[in-house]
Structure 1
Amino acid sequence: LFRWDGVRDVHIWLWETGIDFSSVIASFNCGTNTFAKNHLFRRLRWLGHRAASHLATLGYLAIWHGYHLGYFVLFLFEFGCVVAQEQLYALIDRTPGWAEFNAKPIVRPFVWLFGRLTINYAMGSTFMTMGLLKTKYWIGVSVRSINMFTILGCNSTIKSAFYVLT
């Protein structure tokens, strides 16, 4: 009997229904994520800064995938998104009543929709950089997406990602 398990390293339901960048990361390439967490990230504790360990781990993964610019763009953008997400969640926790408001059943569909739209918009052009290795195929689209990201006022996300490292 033939057994096809080509998606055993992806949690499809979490991938399709997750509402934040952590769910995207946790649902895709699970074996590699486990390896990176256990054998790279934890061994980089000596750096003394969680963000530096995270960035070094992502740098290793980019080199592991190859030396194409798209890999580095993808993993750097992933780092920025995770940092921005952590800051957003910290802001929600600090704001009185906001976490309770988001937990209401009537609000949950809107939280899910906002999360899915954010993930699909933000990750679309960056995943393209990994799939299309030649820069000439994705650079124009990515630059337009980054410009739109900046126009929408999200350049503070990029600035805050660099602030975390200092």
Structure 2
Amino acid sequence: MTAPPSDGAPYGVYTPAYVEAGRVEHVAVLEDGTRTAITPPGETRALESVEPPPLPPRVPDGPTRRVPLGRIVAARSGDKGGTANIGVWARTDAAWRWLAHALTEEKLRELLPEAAPLRIERHVFPNLRGLNFVVDGLLGEGVSSSTRFDPQGKALGEWLRSRHMDIPEALLREGQE
């Protein structure tokens, strides 16, 4: 976007699709180069929805300070076609208790306005003290067709961490001890 226009070039667009396992050759290639055919499963089960795990108890109310979210959480992000994926996790159990209730799909829409009109799914991972957000369509048709400054979504996690939220002061002190 910062260079003069150049000649057109072909590009690919990633589109997720389902292919029956039996239609794809399954092969294990061993260290010595030997190839071993693997029989695909004769039957697979359809994915089913599962109930989200229970959230931890809320952090008690108290004074807050408006600071970047990254003061108490880490993040990693990326892409699969036009879909962005943002993983966020807390460094402490107390921060997790706050994060699980504070960073909802609605709050993510507020913090990342470019995602507001898009479909967002939130997945909760209590054993990892983490949340994962899947944002459909944020990257257009994917890396090769996106006009975003960050077409792979690699910086989305840091962009989210830079956004300010009202964070309990007790959690901010916890990180300094």
TM-score, normalisation: structure 1: 0.26
Give the greater-gyration-radius structure (CA).
2
TM-score, normalisation: structure 2: 0.25
Of Structure 1 and Structure 2, which has the larger fraction of its residues in helix?
Answer: 1
